[in-house]
Structure 1
Amino acid sequence: MAKNIYALLVGIDNYHPDSSPSVRSLTGCLNDIRAIESYLRDRISFESEWTLVESTDVPWILTNEQATRQAIINGFQQHLCKADNDDVVLFYYAGHGSQQKVSEAFAHLELDKYNETLICYDSRTKGSWDIADKELAYLISQVSKNNPHTVVILDCCHSGTGTRDSEIVRQAPGDERQRPWDSFIFANDSVALEKLASLKNQDKMKFQGFQGKHIALVACRSHETAKEYTTEDGQRRGAFSYFLTETLKKTNGGISYRDLVRNVNALAIGQIKEQSPQIEATDAEELNQPFLGGAIDECSQYFTLSYNIKQKSWVIESGALHGIPNSSKGGDTLLAIFPVGSNAEELHQLTNAIAEAKVTNVLPQMSIVEITRDSGLSQKQTYWAVVTSLPLAPLKVYLQGDMGEEAVKLASLVHKEAGPNRNPSLYVDLVDSPEDAYCTLSADNGQYWITKDDHPLVAPIPEQPDGVGYTSDRALKAIGRLEHIARWNNVLTLESPATSFIKPDLVEMSIQILSGQDVSASPNGVEKRVQYTYEDGEWKPPIVQVKLTNNSSRTLYCNVLELSESYGIYLPFFEERSSISIPAYASLEGENEFYIPDDFLERGVTEYKEIFKLIVSSAEFDAGLLEQDGLNPPPQTRSLELPDTTFNLLLDRVNTREPGHSSRKLDDWMTKSIAVTIVYPP
């Protein structure tokens, strides 16, 4: 029996011109919807009899003026409600979230007297209203009557307060109008009204007995804001949507909801200020299921290479939607070419490759390839290609100030000679627009400042004005700190190629608090928060344990990195600085004490974020290559003798950016992350 995916995708950048008060436009919501639509169309497992249902009765993709309140309701009731027991339902909303003055009937459910809402295109016009959280719950309950696998993804926020940061956020002022009772979609549903009347305040988020079974992925906590983000190629996206779709593209099709949001959360915490994506489920066991219940096709361990007459070039049948990254100043995506029919072991021995190639242009569905070493490939035949190297994106930095100013001119000149052989820095790319930059290097009062969204990332150079002014040495130190941040970001975003056979669920990473107070707000283990405890007359930092479990039938090699808020990278859990072998079906535990550095406490910082990143490989590797303390110069390349594998060369490039070449073995690898916040009591 065929299985169907019923999707309702809503993206709103521009709201009705008659909205009162006016609703500020956004820039990335339509891009988010296009990205998830493309992902669904391309990655659905047609061979497994999954079908994306494209309704002819009502639109299932609603953008801007199409996304009226009634159109969204119709999408639920006339499209999503057709889903059956074996089907999957996806509701995806990218736009403004807000609040709405609560009606008297709901006063007992909302202590702050406001409903959380989604703003439709015409929500703020006369006679129309936002979709309130209780209405969304009601619509989900209708969809869930036939028990499909239901997923709700919301890239918006609901705090209703003023914007605290300079970046664009998906949040609009609350609606202070007194909403009439008969405007709610369940106003005439007596059964629903009885259930609402029976709820107490503590039940409001669950709507037990009223809200149907589903999984919800949301962009941030209730007190945070959902931000927009500029991608590597300059496209505006929702930060949550971008990290979500990138993680989905780069995993091998079977990532669980729990691991998906853990990875997205870690990326968001590392890249975006005050935004922590969350996940909720009416049944916590469903968080261990693969995304969309397994409807996404699993990538093979190779790509098919063929000659495309239309493109007049060699191509592989996979592109951006499959996780193939664009080339950058940090390198190219390199491929080894094998005969069709090569077995798994042959594909991992690079000496068996009959040609080599590099990706020159990444399209959504395919990539253009240039053959760099040819052993007589025939344009009339197909071949198999495996990834042997991935590019590492440089940090995009905007120099603030006139290029004629002494400080900016010095920094620009130093950057041009900061790389090997007095070439430009390989880690830092100077851009012409602040909108295209990850951070800004500016000069003020004799100091260099590195900032992101007007917030300093590190201490200025020098830390206190001393009257000396700007020097080449200080400019070099500023570029060095930028390179340090770039290496940290490279490790944070380090992910395996989609062709890796090591799926995210083959090695589990769990976090346990051995001492200290667990004050985690997330019930599903997305982000841990642990607080110091007062013992024997002093505040003692918490002890955290990590447990790694190998669920595969082969020995794998692992280690866990600690990426600190101060841009340090450490190996805190195990004595080995390289990798630890975990036999098939075995577990390994390590623990350590985690504290907030004194210099942070002295500055009044009482919450310190850590990201624990698990790296898994099919061969031994040197995790010590990634270590860095504070903002010191990068460590020297380690001399530890390990197998000459593609993954070790990648780790070395994170540290040195020098190109490497392996003639021996291609190893598979995988990463996953969990964020932990260390809290010092006030």
Structure 2
Amino acid sequence: MRNLYALLVGIDRYAAVPALSGCVRDVTDAREHLEATLAPGTDLVPLTLLNEQATRDAVVGAITSHLGQAGPDDVALFWFAGHGSDWPVPAWAKRIEPTGRLQSLVCADSRSGTVPDLWDKELSLLLDDVSDRAGHVAVVLDSCHSDGATRELLEREPAVRTRSVPPGAAPDLDHLRARLEARLAADRPAEHIVLAACQSTEAAEERTLGPGCHRRGVFTWSLLQAMRRLGPAATYNDLLLAARTEVELNACRQVPQARPRASQLLNQRFLGGAVTPSDREIRMRRSGSAWVIDAGAMHGLEAGDGLRIGVRGDPDRQADVVEVRASDSRVAPIAGWAPDPHRQYPVVVTAMPTPLTTVATGDEELRAALARSLDVRVLDDGIPDLRAHYADGELAVVDQSGEELLRRRYFVDEAAAAVEHIARWLRVWHRRNGVTALGSPVRVEVLDAGKRQILERDSSNEYVVQYDGGDPPEILIRLRNDSDRPLFCALLDLTSRFKVDPVLFPGYFVAARDVGECLDGRRIKAFLPPTVPVEPGASVKDRLKLFVAEAPFGVEPFVMPALAETLGVRGSYRDLGDAALPTGHDWTTDQVVIRIEVPR
């Protein structure tokens, strides 16, 4: 028997700095996840410090006394959600901090009276002491400047808040100098793993996310989603890449980080395997007078009309999800099916609600044209999926992150048709199954065609390929099935012209522990579209959306022509339908972005 000692610190209310809203929810969600997924043979020993409880002395003391109990067979986890800050490094410490900045965690009473922040170097030494005795030590930091140790309070929009405060008093680290220099002289490697919300120069955002429309830290939400989706075999590196993708889907600019970088430690399973659900399959059972499934909001199931489950492999036995609760959901069998109350049925999600894309626009003509749309909903408050600026006949469409997707001249009805088209295109990109039991069994690999080497993603989690003179780059794309069974795959290319094209891999089985070659292994020329001149600095993105399922499905409902081919034909294209996915079989998705550039 081993113990998982968890110290969970969430601070929304501060004595001397502005308040936050989602930190307590973050660590509450994290604790619920740990409790729900604890591996057999592991006991959870949690300590949660919220708001006023999380003073500087209390946090330091809990690291020493609570996490310090962990022995060689145990795991220690420190999870912090709150404000972060930074400060120029003292002159003597520049050798141990090449960035020239120190990061800090802002505790509940930091900056009240003479109470300082908790500085990264002090936190590191405290965790080193825990590492001297514990078998495995991990840290999750959802705060601003956290790739170093540390959320910035900066209201950019009413619904977006970031977690950091300006620097406070200069750090007094002289009492740590001898220990820090001794560690440097001994060339002691890092002995704990840190997953951080962002780079040391970035802000960590909190937004209204997930079930219940609660404020949450985007990183904590994304990391927990990744853990649920990838399952027990996920390594720290797996979770980092999945969390980056999730952050990007939420249109945030922060880039989650892991330390120590390029270390074999990151190839370990999360918490050394202390969190590893033994059975991830959803089951339907009788509970009192109702039928329920053992999946709810905490597992990623999102409420909405049209949510349906079905018995695995049997398309005739399905049930509507009528109420999504915290840890389970109430369902109602349909089409005359009368389940046996003495049985438990393995089920999968067979239909999901497809919410309308929200759009904000200040132009009354465009608002009137979009008001009767079946694809979008005009939003007055909150953060929309798209912003449509229309003036003097020119339409500009911008996504949540501020990236301009389109700028072109249109009549108002054409502008409305363009917005609707982009909305349908984005629905394909964002479509996924949050409660799949498949995890992420198939991954997309992009290779340099000449060297036949797998390309690495950049800090934005994108593959970057560049023109050589006037010649477009050539790549290979393949799908690698890491599972022990064949799976049916389709790879859709969502182009910069808002086309959805299945030509790369239109739907085939990929054998177990094998690869499927896109375009039968032929080289792919990554061209800029005809409307983009091949000149220094030119850049476009192609998004690749992978659908994976246990049984064949048709890709036709996903297919869309390029935007230029749709104008004047509003409402004539089929909506994204669940018929594209196999009823009674589990399915999952993944996605990558390829950025095609002309070097400056």
Is 2:599 the partner of 1:671?
no
State how far apart, in whole Å, the 2-side matches of 1:217 and 1:541 are.
37
Secondary structure at the residue paired with 1:30?
helix
The CA deviation at 1:488 is 2.7
State how far apart, in whole Å, the 1-side matches of 2:413 and 2:465 are.
43
State how far apart, in whole Å, the 2-side matches of 1:410 and 1:100 are.
51
Is 2:45 the partner of 1:53?
yes
- Residues 76-100 of structure 1 show CA distances to partners (whole Å, capped at 9, x for unaligned) of 1111121223322222222222212
| Aligned twin of 1:581 | 509
Match of 1:369 among 331, 335, 348: 331
The CA deviation at 1:31 is 1.9
State how far apart, in whole Å, the 2-side matches of 1:52 and 1:105 are.
41
State how far apart, in whole Å, the 2-side matches of 1:218 and 1:598 are.
40
Counterparts of residues 63-74 of structure 1 (less than 5 Å): 63-74=50-61
The CA deviation at 1:360 is 1.0
The CA deviation at 1:303 is 0.8
1:134–1:235 Cα change, 3 Å: same
| Aligned twin of 2:525 | 593
| Aligned twin of 1:315 | 292
Letter in 2 for 1:178: A
1:555–1:458 Cα change, 3 Å: closer
Secondary structure at the residue paired with 1:459?
strand
State how far apart, in whole Å, the 2-side matches of 1:406 and 1:677 are.
35
Q: Do the aligned residues in 2 keep the contact of 1:254 with 1:503 (CA within 8 Å)? A: no
Is 2:75 the partner of 1:94?
no
State how far apart, in whole Å, the 2-side matches of 1:401 and 1:531 are.
37
| Aligned twin of 2:476 | 545
| Aligned twin of 1:224 | 202
Secondary structure at the residue paired with 1:237?
strand
Letter in 2 for 1:409: A
Structure 1 residues not aligned, in runs of 5+: 55-59, 200-207, 337-346, 416-424, 636-653
Letter in 1 for 2:30: I
| Aligned twin of 1:180 | 172
1:114–1:659 Cα change, 3 Å: closer
Q: Do the aligned residues in 1 keep the contact of 2:370 with 2:377 (CA within 8 Å)? A: no
State how far apart, in whole Å, the 2-side matches of 1:277 and 1:628 are.
33
Q: Do the aligned residues in 2 keep the contact of 1:94 with 1:156 (CA within 8 Å)? A: yes
The CA deviation at 1:209 is 0.7
| Aligned twin of 1:339 | none
1:8–1:542 Cα change, 3 Å: farther
| Aligned twin of 2:461 | 527
- Residues 566-609 of structure 1 show CA distances to partners (whole Å, capped at 9, x for unaligned) of 6554457x4x4x22333333334455333554656689865555
State how far apart, in whole Å, the 2-side matches of 1:83 and 1:586 are.
41
State how far apart, in whole Å, the 1-side matches of 2:248 and 2:55 are.
33
Secondary structure at the residue paired with 1:293?
helix
State how far apart, in whole Å, the 2-side matches of 1:543 and 1:604 are.
18
Aligned residues: 581
State how far apart, in whole Å, the 2-side matches of 1:281 and 1:629 are.
45
| Aligned twin of 2:448 | 513
1:582–1:478 Cα change, 3 Å: closer
State how far apart, in whole Å, the 1-side matches of 2:308 and 2:566 are.
25
The CA deviation at 1:137 is 1.9
Q: Do the aligned residues in 2 keep the contact of 1:155 with 1:219 (CA within 8 Å)? A: yes
Secondary structure at the residue paired with 1:409?
helix
1:223–1:570 Cα change, 3 Å: farther
- Residues 243-271 of structure 1 show CA distances to partners (whole Å, capped at 9, x for unaligned) of 22223234444333333222222232243
| Aligned twin of 1:209 | 188
Letter in 2 for 1:314: W
| Aligned twin of 2:310 | 335
Counterparts of residues 568-647 of structure 1 (less than 5 Å): 568-571=499-502, 574=504, 576=505, 578-590=506-518, 592-597=524-529, 599=531, 608-623=540-555, 625-628=557-560, 630-631=562-563
| Aligned twin of 2:126 | 139
| Aligned twin of 1:27 | 21
Secondary structure at the residue paired with 1:480?
helix
Match of 2:37 among 40, 43, 61: 43
State how far apart, in whole Å, the 2-side matches of 1:235 and 1:570 are.
36
- Residues 294-326 of structure 1 show CA distances to partners (whole Å, capped at 9, x for unaligned) of 3231434341311335xxx32223212233221
Structure 2 residues not aligned, in runs of 5+: 568-572
Counterparts of residues 291-306 of structure 1 (less than 5 Å): 291-294=270-273, 295-306=275-286
- Residues 371-406 of structure 1 show CA distances to partners (whole Å, capped at 9, x for unaligned) of 223444465x3431412413143244254459xx44
Q: Do the aligned residues in 2 keep the contact of 1:262 with 1:674 (CA within 8 Å)? A: no
Is 2:435 the partner of 1:497?
yes
Letter in 1 for 2:203: T
Is 2:318 the partner of 1:390?
no
Secondary structure at the residue paired with 1:123?
coil
Letter in 2 for 1:280: R
| Aligned twin of 1:420 | none
1:113–1:300 Cα change, 3 Å: closer
1:515–1:237 Cα change, 3 Å: farther
The CA deviation at 1:173 is 1.9
State how far apart, in whole Å, the 2-side matches of 1:270 and 1:661 are.
22
Secondary structure at the residue paired with 1:321?
helix
- Residues 173-221 of structure 1 show CA distances to partners (whole Å, capped at 9, x for unaligned) of 233x333334x5x45xx4543124x39xxxxxxxx51632x33222223
1:442–1:66 Cα change, 3 Å: farther
Letter in 2 for 1:155: D
State how far apart, in whole Å, the 2-side matches of 1:102 and 1:62 are.
29
State how far apart, in whole Å, the 1-side matches of 2:515 and 2:55 are.
52
1:267–1:449 Cα change, 3 Å: same
State how far apart, in whole Å, the 2-side matches of 1:659 and 1:550 are.
24
Secondary structure at the residue paired with 2:423?
helix
Letter in 2 for 1:12: I
| Aligned twin of 1:434 | 382
Counterparts of residues 150-161 of structure 1 (less than 5 Å): 150-158=137-145
- Residues 9-65 of structure 1 show CA distances to partners (whole Å, capped at 9, x for unaligned) of 22222322xx3xxx34322222222211211122223xx1221103xxxxx222222
TM-score w.r.t. length of structure 1: 0.75
- Residues 589-639 of structure 1 show CA distances to partners (whole Å, capped at 9, x for unaligned) of 45533355465668986555555444333323344643445535789xxxx
Is 2:303 the partner of 1:326?
yes
The CA deviation at 1:557 is 2.7
1:98–1:546 Cα change, 3 Å: farther
Letter in 1 for 2:234: I
1:551–1:630 Cα change, 3 Å: same
| Aligned twin of 1:554 | 485
Letter in 2 for 1:237: R
Match of 1:194 among 177, 182, 195: 182
The CA deviation at 1:368 is 1.2
State how far apart, in whole Å, the 2-side matches of 1:145 and 1:610 are.
47
Could you say what the CA RMSD is over the residues aligned between the two structures, in angstroms?
Answer: 3.7
1:115–1:661 Cα change, 3 Å: closer
